[in-house]
Amino acid sequence: MKLTEPRTLAPPERRSARVTAVERLGAYVLIGAHDSDGPPDPRPGQFYMLSTAGRWGGGADERPYLPRAFSHARAREGELSFLLEAVGPGTTRLAELESGEALELVGPLGIGWRAARDGTRPLLVGGGIGAAPLLCLQDELGADAEALLGFRSADHAQAAALFAGIPAVATDDGSVGRQALVTDLLREQLDADPATTVFACGPPPMLEAVRLLCAELAVPAQLALESGMACGFGACFGCVVPTRDGYIRLCVDGPVLEADALASAVFPGAGH
Ligand SMILES: Cc1cc2nc3c(=O)[nH]c(=O)nc-3n(C[C@H](O)[C@H](O)[C@H](O)COP(=O)(O)OP(=O)(O)OC[C@H]3O[C@@H](n4cnc5c(N)ncnc54)[C@H](O)[C@@H]3O)c2cc1C
Ligand code: FES
């Protein structure tokens, strides 16, 4: 296990990376970009604020002016990849990028995954696009780090192929893997071996279910959370979320938080 310092500092300004590959993966798009001016070692669980140089706001149908936050899915020798689903104007525009175009970015930002508790095995738990920051975590931990992945459908479950080994997959419609919630798979795993640290990312209700289950079984868990982020580096306070110790800015003190720090992983009114 190499995880030590989970924060790599970002260069202080926006820069351009060159898009090197765009791959459709069912419901998702995997964008590769060569970030020659950025640090080569973003920590798994950190994120970047992304935008495009052209057609990023300015017209009635072009709402984004602010960049959008994305975890890097992989980082290898200056080559970053981002896994995204087109759910709104920003993600739709990013999904239209082509090889050779510029991807504007700021990052890496935030604090990523911390090391697993001593004497426990890491278990990665992803829901939908929440698989993204678990990919680079598995790259770092090694293929032995098992992944449990939940998806809506077979189209979304294509992202499972990016993981090493054979991740356990659950789908809502049973079209791939088990027809179950990923938290059903998690409960079975924790019942079998509670000496586990859980690393989870996914939609807020899934993260809340993971938090409650891990609290019930006294299993340490880290949750990568989402909140609406306007700046990504602590200036706007748009991303504040409540913790047991008061409000924090998720972009600088997260996005990965210890589950114990939270009274809930669902933040009414925050983000989406
Ligand atoms: C730290 C961090 C890391 C993130 N990493 C990733 C990542 O790796 N890949 C990725 O695809 N996204 C990621 N996101 C989420 C992404 O930043 C948002 O989905 C983004 O706001 C989308 O921008 P947009 O302009 O396309 O849509 P917006 O204008 O922000 O939203 C448009 C509409 O889409 C809905 N919407 C927004 N997000 C979602 C969603 N996730 N699912 C369903 N509906 C949604 C909104 O409710 C709204 O109705 C991350 C967010 C954070 C904070
Ligand atoms: S996004 Fe601006 S302070 Fe966190």
pLDDT digits (tens, 9 = 90+) for 150-159: 999 999 999 9
pLDDT digits (tens, 9 = 90+) for 164-207: 999 999 999 999 999 999 999 999 999 999 999 999 999 999 99
For a ligand 2 pocket test, name from 111, 237, 267 the mutation site with the most ligand atoms within 8 angstroms of its C-beta.
237
Instruction: Indicate whether residue 249 lines ligand 2 (CB < 6 A).
Output: yes
**pLDDT in the model for residue 253:** 96
Q: Per this entry, what is the length of the chain?
A: 272
Q: Percentage of the chain with pLDDT > 70? A: 94
Distance CA(79)–CA(61), nearest Å, equals 31
pTM: 0.94
Distance CA(35)–CA(230), nearest Å, equals 22
**pLDDT in the model for residue 60:** 58
**pLDDT in the model for residue 2:** 42
Measuring CA to CA, how many Å separate 35 from each of 170, 185, 229?
34, 37, 22
Residue 55 amino acid letter: R
**pLDDT in the model for residue 54:** 86
For ligand 1, residues with CB inside 6 Å are 47, 64, 68-71, 82-85, 87-91, 129, 132, 226-227, 229, 255, 272
